[in-house]
């Protein structure tokens, strides 16, 4: 089933000095131009939010019956590029220019903040390699970086802040230290309040929630007011799932219950009354290096926190390596056991 395409203007961040395409560098925290070598600070690009250094690109085609895709023309080389309806920043597959589709991040989709990348692509690959080294019996295929595709992506997150309060009641047991046959049973009621700030949750259907949770935490002290300039040189997505408050309420309530039970290791909960309310929900783009590869017909995806370098992702086990290690270990143990036994037998023979 087809539907009408939506055609958006692609926009390119331009060097104020020479007009060439420029990108953000996580290493220097500045924007660099590969053409003239110029470097620029955030202050130099404050006008990007006002569209002064972001050049418009005319739509490449007229509206017609096509799948739900957006088509635009690369301003640098003129090639026609296609994206899905959630992509807000991308690259030209022909010339490599970084393109920003600003209308995807306007209105309700405009982020409140952006957390810039602070580790480079090479640093992310080093983190991934260490992740492989820390695992056991990883196939050699995963250590060859030629097999790994990597892309820096700004992933949409919502940050939830508010207050949780409630009461737990139940029983707990204390065993007498003088007489182990005596067990005292007590009833308890515990109440408490807890303010929480900026609990993150990704809001992109493309991203695995568990994988995104596993690379936390992020340092929210480094948040910047949203500026399109930070997107240049990276992929970016707008949120495409509802900001499900119920899931976050469950998460906060769970933390509250754990806090109330923290001193009752042997206690059981008979009833609970926990309530949580959000006072603020912030929409933020978070930095994540996404890595993927295909091995023996299966896709493997890894995520590297673009700020801290924390790396997560499932690695398979090489059965051949595992059995080889088991064989060597068995031989080594056998040798350790057999050698003293051999000398003992020789000693008995010589002294018989």
The pLDDT of residue 49? 42
Q: Is the pLDDT of residue 322 over 70?
A: no
Q: What is the pLDDT of residues 39-49, one digit of tens each?
A: 888 777 665 44
Range of the domain at 211: 121-317
Look at 6-20, 115-129, 150-164, 246-260 and tell me which has the smallest mean pLDDT: 6-20
113, part of any domain = no
**CA nearest neighbour of 227 among 27, 103, 50, 38:** 50
Same domain, 158 and 268: yes
Same domain for 54 and 129, yes or no, is no
Query: Is residue 110 in some structural domain?
Result: no
In a domain, 111, yes or no: no
Q: Residue 4 has what pLDDT?
A: 37
Whole-angstrom CA distances from 320 to 133, 138, 324, 326 are 17, 10, 6, 10
Q: Is residue 112 part of a domain?
A: no
Per the domain annotation, does 50 fall within a domain?
Answer: yes
What was the pLDDT predicted at 29?
86
Mean pLDDT of all residues in 338-349: 67
Determine the Cα–Cα distance for residues 167 and 261; give it in Å rounded to an integer: 11
Residue 140 shares a structural domain with residue 99: no
Residues 277, 295: one domain? yes
Residue 55 lies in a domain: yes
CA of residue 303 relative to chain centroid, distance = 5
Residue 334 sits in the same domain as residue 263: no
Confidence of residue 121 (pLDDT cuts 50, 70, 90): very high
**Across residues 211-236, what is the average pLDDT?**
90
Helix (H) or strand (E) run with residue 327 in it: helix 319-350
The confidence score (pLDDT) of residue 119 equals 94
Q: Per the domain annotation, does 232 fall within a domain?
A: yes
Whether residue 180 sits in one domain with residue 138: yes
Write the burial class of residue 177 (CB in 10 Å: 0-12 exposed, 13-18 middle, 19+ buried). Answer: exposed
What does the alpha-carbon distance between residue 57 and residue 148 come to, in Å, rounded to a whole number? 32
The predicted-structure confidence for 69-118, as pLDDT tens digits, reads as follows 566 666 666 666 667 677 777 766 656 667 677 777 778 888 999 999 99
pLDDT, one tens digit per residue, over 280-309 is 889 999 999 999 999 888 999 999 999 999
Q: Is the domain of 145 the same as that of 287? A: yes
Tell me the whole-structure pTM to 2 decimals: 0.73
Beta bridge partners of 217: none
Q: Which of 243, 83, 226, 229 is nearest to 158 (CA)?
A: 243
pLDDT of residue 287: 96
The predicted-structure confidence for 127-164, as pLDDT tens digits, reads as follows 999 999 998 878 889 999 999 999 999 999 989 888 88
Q: How far apart are CA 283 and CA 247, in angstroms?
A: 16
Do 140 and 98 have their domain in common? no
Shared-domain flag, residues 311 and 335: no
Task: State which of 43, 70, 105 marks the end of a domain.
Answer: 105
pLDDT number for residue 56: 43
Structural domain count of the chain: 3
Q: What contacts 151, CB < 8 A, 6 or more positions away?
A: 234, 235, 289, 290
Quick one: pLDDT at residue 112?
93
Give me the pLDDT at residue 37, please.
79
- Cα separation, 284 vs 161, whole angstroms: 13
What is the predicted pLDDT for the residue at 231?
87
142 Cβ neighbours under 8 A, 6+ residues apart: 132, 148, 293, 295, 300, 315
Same domain, 262 and 288: yes
Please report the pLDDT score of residue 341 as a whole number: 67
| pLDDT of amino acid 118 | 94
Cis amide leading into 291 (omega within 30): no
Q: Is the confidence at residue 126, as pLDDT, over 90? A: yes
14: DSSP letter: B
Q: Is residue 116 part of a domain?
A: no
Mean pLDDT for all residues in the chain: 76
Q: What pLDDT score does 260 carry?
A: 67
Same domain for 206 and 98: no
Residues 178 and 89 in one domain: no
Contact 140, 262 (CB under 8 A): no
């Amino acid at each position: 089933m087809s539907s009408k395409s939506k055609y958006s203007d692609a926009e390119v961040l331009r060097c104020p000095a020479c007009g060439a395409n420029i990108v953000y560098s996580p290493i220097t925290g500045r924007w660099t131009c590969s053409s003239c070598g110029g470097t620029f600070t955030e202050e130099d690009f404050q006008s990007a939010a006002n569209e002064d250094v972001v050049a418009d690109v005319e739509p490449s085609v007229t509206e017609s019956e096509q799948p739900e895709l957006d088509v635009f023309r690369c301003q640098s080389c003129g090639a026609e590029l296609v994206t899905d309806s959630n992509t807000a920043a991308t690259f030209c597959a022909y010339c490599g220019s970084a393109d920003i589709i600003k209308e995807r991040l306007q209105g309700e989709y405009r982020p409140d903040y952006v957390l810039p990348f602070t580790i480079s692509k090479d640093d992310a690959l080093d983190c991934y390699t260490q992740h492989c080294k820390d695992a056991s019996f990883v196939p050699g295929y995963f250590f060859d970086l030629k097999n790994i595709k990597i892309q820096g992506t700004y992933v949409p997150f919502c940050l939830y802040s508010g207050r949780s309060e409630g009461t737990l009641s139940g029983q707990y047991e204390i065993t007498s230290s003088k007489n182990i046959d005596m067990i005292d049973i007590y009833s308890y009621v515990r109440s408490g309040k807890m303010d929480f700030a900026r609990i993150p949750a990704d809001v992109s259907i493309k991203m695995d929630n568990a994988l995104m949770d596993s690379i936390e935490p992020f340092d929210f002290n480094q948040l910047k007011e949203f500026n399109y300039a930070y997107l240049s040189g990276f992929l970016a997505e707008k949120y495409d799932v509802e900001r499900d408050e119920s899931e976050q309420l469950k998460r906060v309530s769970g933390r509250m219950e754990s806090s109330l039970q923290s001193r009752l290791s042997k206690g059981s909960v008979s009833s609970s009354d926990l309530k949580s309310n959000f006072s603020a929900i912030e929409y933020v783009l978070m930095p994540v290096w996404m890595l993927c590869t295909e091995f023996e017909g299966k896709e493997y995806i890894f995520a590297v926190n673009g700020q801290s370098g924390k790396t997560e992702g499932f690695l398979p086990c090489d059965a051949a390596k595992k059995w080889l290690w088991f064989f060597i270990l068995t031989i080594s143990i056998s040798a350790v056991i057999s050698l003293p036994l051999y000398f003992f037998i020789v000693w008995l023979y010589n002294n018989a």
